[in-house]
Structure 1
Amino acid sequence: MMASTKYEGILCHLPILAPRYAEAQMISLIAAERATGAWNWLRDEGLLIVAITSGAFFFTRAIGLVSNFQAERLKRQRAAADPLGHNAVGAYQGALLGAARWGINFTIATVAFVWTLLLLNLPAAAVVPLVSIVGAGLGFGAQQIVGDVLAGIFIISERQFGVGDVVRVGPLVPVGWIEGRVEEVTLRVTKIRTFDGDLVTMANGGLRQTVNLSRDWARVLINIPVSREADLDAAIEMLNRIGHDISHDPEWAPLILEQPVVSGVEDIGAETIELRFAGRTLPAQQWKVAREIRHRIAIEGAP
């Protein structure tokens, strides 16, 4: 009798408990299905996304290492073949190497990004705003980047300058002209080490005017003041003798293409007469030769 009463109580509550039990079972099945789907996605697409990003990082790092190794090898070859550093072909190869590295890395990053977006299977409602935001950003920012890349292509294709060249670029706001040696050229930026040791990075689109001081030959120009009471002919003779001596010096002759001579009177002041002392040297060697000439003039005694 007691057992019958117990089951009767359960049967009375069954209409209430059955829907709740069925609902709980349905929720459990949906959760299990979603967990299985998430696990399958992580196992397939998730692992593939990790592999894509890891592969892109690995390849960009490998390209950087290979590029740096090749750049050092080119630098050593250029130094061995041309100790004076006026090999335009070596400079062009260095610039081409930097541009190729930048272009390959950009391509790898773009492919990895697009591939990842495709694997995420984003709904159209989420993709459209994302594309709109990216498009707006590209509209404002990519214009400058595209201009920099096009300028870099022209710099490299026209061989305006290359790695190792001594250049003067500008005018830049607010520093004016910058002069130094090119350390790296990519499609987007150029890096120049100034003679003070500063490394300046500039977008190629901002290089409006460039002066390459490492091509063909350079001119050494020195203006030398001479007292109005001094013998002008004797001063000119002494300076021409110094130009002859340095041009025939075994240490300095390889740097000089044309013997420095006094070209004439450059200026007449109240107390001094300025003589122009000029000659031709190898590219980027004019400052070194000019310092040696001033040193010899100081030893001889100022005219």
Structure 2
Amino acid sequence: MDDRALPDLSAPASPDAALTFLDSAWGWLLSSGLTIVVILVAATVISAVTGWLIRRFFRTMSQSSARLSTVAGSMTKRDSRQAKAARSRREQRTETLSSVARNVSRLVIWAIASVMILSEIGVNVAPVIASLGVVGLAAGIGAQTLIKDVVAGIVMLFEDLVAVGDTVDLEYATGTVEGINLRVTQVRSLDGTLWTVRNGEIIRIGNFTQGYSNAVALFDIDTEAEHATVTDLLQGVTDEFVADPAWSDRVTGDPAVSGILGVDGSRVQRRIVVPVEAGAQWDAEQELRRRVRAAFHEAGVAFAQPRFSDTLPK
């Protein structure tokens, strides 16, 4: 083998070659490099401004809705309480929608900036975009479940079906909503379990804390109790409950004391229904039961004893 054919690696680099490389690098920095810096700065500024505009838009929309739904000087204390709850829910919904919109806009802006930077580096972006289109089509076909979840999440957010803090029944899980996004809804059940439900699998939603609720208290009364006496006691307890300042602001409608709902050999069933603000029904039911128990004890009216079949293990 002829050693003269091999390059002399020990020879120093040519000054002309080094200068040529430096000139090329400097030229690239002054052209494409500067363009990339401008793209990065512009993307950062546009992202920040767009986020501020989106936040300002949703905040203005929420404040306008609050002004339209408020009649100055014509609201009672109860109406004011309900208006405050509605305003809190609007603000919560506005923040959720604003956050989703900002994330989507940020993703779009930086995706466009990335394509522009690749073009400045010298990458032919046309095949890349075409490939992304094919990959996106394939991913869309394979990710139909994910797309279904996202679409369902968007509908839930815009229609205000569920919000963080609501107590809901999603068929698969019942409890308090701790988190909701475009893909899943997280619900904390009464025993502390955190359930994660895909939005696309939610067929029905029962919201216990939206609008108003009914406090429903059922009573099993001894068959020997006088019907008129029981009616007077239940009506008296209900009237006192509604007139109590601690509860009057939370009552949203006229209460109802039922007649005899059912009779068997050991009990007569009666019921009290009081419309209250959303989320207050459980406390109101406990208070009604406590007051009815005290009134019955004072009047000597007995509750029904549990039937033998009710005490058997199931």
In 2, the alpha carbon distance for the partners of 1:26 and 1:129 equals 41
In 2, the alpha carbon distance for the partners of 1:197 and 1:83 equals 30
Residue in structure 1 matched with residue 142 of structure 2 by the alignment: 140
Amino acid of the structure 2 residue aligned with 1:98:
T
Contact 2:43-2:109 at 8 Å conserved across structures? no
Aligned CA distance change for structure 1 residues 80 and 258 (closer, same or farther; 3 Å)? closer
Offset at 1:82? Answer: 3.6
In 2, the alpha carbon distance for the partners of 1:69 and 1:24 equals 64
In 2, the alpha carbon distance for the partners of 1:38 and 1:31 equals 10
Cα deviation 1:243-272 (Å, max 9, x = unaligned): 12212323323333122413323463x644
Rg larger for:
1
Q: Which has the higher strand share?
A: 1
Aligned CA distance change for structure 1 residues 89 and 188 (closer, same or farther; 3 Å)? farther
Contact 1:226-1:232 at 8 Å conserved across structures? no
Offset at 1:147? Answer: 3.1
- 2:239 is paired with a residue of what secondary structure? helix
In 2, the alpha carbon distance for the partners of 1:215 and 1:124 equals 50
Cα deviation 1:172-229 (Å, max 9, x = unaligned): 2xxx3x233x677666565667677887775543432112334554322112122345
Offset at 1:38? Answer: 4.8
- Structure 1 segment 18-29 matched on structure 2, within 5 A: 24=14, 27-28=17-18
- 2:171 is paired with a residue of what secondary structure? strand
Amino acid of the structure 1 residue aligned with 2:113:
W
Residue in structure 2 matched with residue 258 of structure 1 by the alignment: 254
Gaps of at least 5 residues in structure 2 are: 1-5, 71-76, 304-314
Offset at 1:293? Answer: 0.6
Match of residue 109, structure 2, among 103, 108, 111: 111
Residue in structure 1 matched with residue 38 of structure 2 by the alignment: 48
Aligned CA distance change for structure 1 residues 206 and 63 (closer, same or farther; 3 Å)? farther
Cα deviation 1:17-36 (Å, max 9, x = unaligned): 9xx98994664355335433
Contact 1:226-1:274 at 8 Å conserved across structures? yes
Offset at 1:105? Answer: 2.8
- 2:259 is paired with a residue of what secondary structure? strand
Q: What is the alpha-carbon root mean square deviation over aligned residues?
A: 4.8
Offset at 1:241? Answer: 1.7
Identity, % of aligned pairs?
18
The answer to whether the aligner puts 1:244 opposite 2:239 as a matched pair is: yes
Match of residue 175, structure 2, among 166, 175, 179: 179
- Structure 1 segment 82-101 matched on structure 2, within 5 A: 82-84=80-82, 88=86, 91-92=89-90, 94-101=92-99
TM-score normalised to structure 2 length: 0.64
Residue in structure 2 matched with residue 4 of structure 1 by the alignment: none
Amino acid of the structure 1 residue aligned with 2:171:
P
